[in-house]
Amino acid sequence: MSNSPEINIFAESELNISNKKTEGLFRILYMMMTWLLILPVATILAILVYKGGPMISFEFLFSNPIKGMTAGGIFPALIGTVWLVSVALLFSVPLGVAAAIYLSEYAKDNWFTRMINLAIINLAGVPSIVHALFGVGAFVLFFGFGTSILAASLTLGIMTLPVVIVSSYESLQAVPMAFREACWSMGATRWQTIRRIVLPNSVSGILTGVILEVSRTTGETAPIMFTGAAFFLPYLPESVFDQTMALSLHLFVVSTQVPHVPEGLPYGVALVLIGMVLTMNAASIAFRTYLRGRKKW
């Protein structure tokens, strides 16, 4: 009878034990990096709620600024922001989706499409203040729109076009080629395939670009400062050719330009601005999730 110790053939090897330890360390590292990203956002929101929460009321949201903008509400700026974002979306989303459709479904790999892609990349890297100067020269002066909602919104739309184009292009490319080939084999034209198959199956991805655009256009200040946003207007705009107040510019003004402002007022404006962005994004994300749930692939 042998006295040698029994060997457990199912025991983990030293290599497996070492790999598990390494995997655990990387899991902890990535978790810490994730919390480092979340912590500043949570801290900012907590400060805004703590300092700006007491300012939020029905009167604050639905009344005009008074006493040199040191009191009253933000209703004109709130409505003006909705105007600016809505008109910018109406301009940039159809144009951006159309450009993405051309690049994804029609364009060949030649010098022309490469120039388009280069222009999109360059447009995405242009600072917002340069877009503001472009908006002044193109829309305010050349086209004669003046300082108006239309000029400011078109400037914002041009600035956010790359986001819409890239997200729409990636979403169109994600639709399986087999879907297109099945339609073509049934005699459908290229446009019929795009309209009935490709676009319906890529809407959820296109909405991602729209969400990013809403976030950026709502918070931009420089592009609208010179093209359509006003320092103080105690009335609501009646058309796209009127000037308007905007939450982002109003926040800048009450934080830096207006003396004797109550401490909580800038935080209250910032809280409303963040809340507006989060509400729009939440609605878009919910709609995108609904559309993704209807996919059959």
- Cβ 100 vs Cβ 172: under 8 Å: yes
pTM attached to this predicted model: 0.84
> Phi/psi at 3 (nearest 5 deg)?
-95, 5
| CA–CA dist 59, 51 (Å, integer) | 18
pLDDT of residue 201: 85
pLDDT of residue 84: 94
pLDDT of residue 11: 67
DSSP string for residues in 258-281 = STT--THHHHHHHHHHHHHHHHHH
| CA–CA dist 272, 257 (Å, integer) | 20
Closest Cα partner for 56 from 73, 78, 41? Answer: 73
Closest Cα partner for 103 from 117, 118, 119, 121? Answer: 117
Closest Cα partner for 163 from 83, 88, 92? Answer: 92
> Phi/psi at 13 (nearest 5 deg)?
-80, 165
pLDDT of residue 8: 61
| CA–CA dist 81, 27 (Å, integer) | 42
Closest Cα partner for 120 from 161, 153, 154? Answer: 161
pLDDT of residue 185: 87
pLDDT of residue 295: 64
| CA–CA dist 206, 168 (Å, integer) | 5
- Cβ 150 vs Cβ 240: under 8 Å: yes
User: Which ranges of 102-148 would DSSP assign to H, the alpha helix?
Assistant: 111-124, 128-135
CA 249 to chain centre: 18
| DSSP state, residue 229 | B
Q: What is the pLDDT of residues 228-286, one digit of tens each?
A: 988 888 888 889 999 999 999 999 999 888 888 888 899 999 999 999 888 888 887 88
Residue 65: its H or E element: strand 65-66
Please tell me the class of the 58-293 domain: mainly alpha
Burial (Cβ within 10 Å: 0-12, 13-18, ≥19) of residue 14: exposed
- Cβ 68 vs Cβ 82: under 8 Å: no
pLDDT in tens, the chain (297 residues): 455 556 666 666 777 888 888 888 999 999 999 999 899 889 999 999 999 999 998 999 999 888 888 888 899 999 999 999 999 999 999 999 999 999 988 888 888 888 888 888 888 888 889 999 999 999 999 999 999 999 999 999 999 999 899 889 988 988 888 888 888 888 888 888 998 888 888 888 888 888 888 888 888 888 999 899 888 888 888 899 999 999 999 999 998 888 888 888 999 999 999 998 888 888 878 877 777 776 665
| CA–CA dist 127, 258 (Å, integer) | 27
| CA–CA dist 94, 92 (Å, integer) | 6
User: Which residues are registered as beta bridge partners of 244?
Assistant: 229
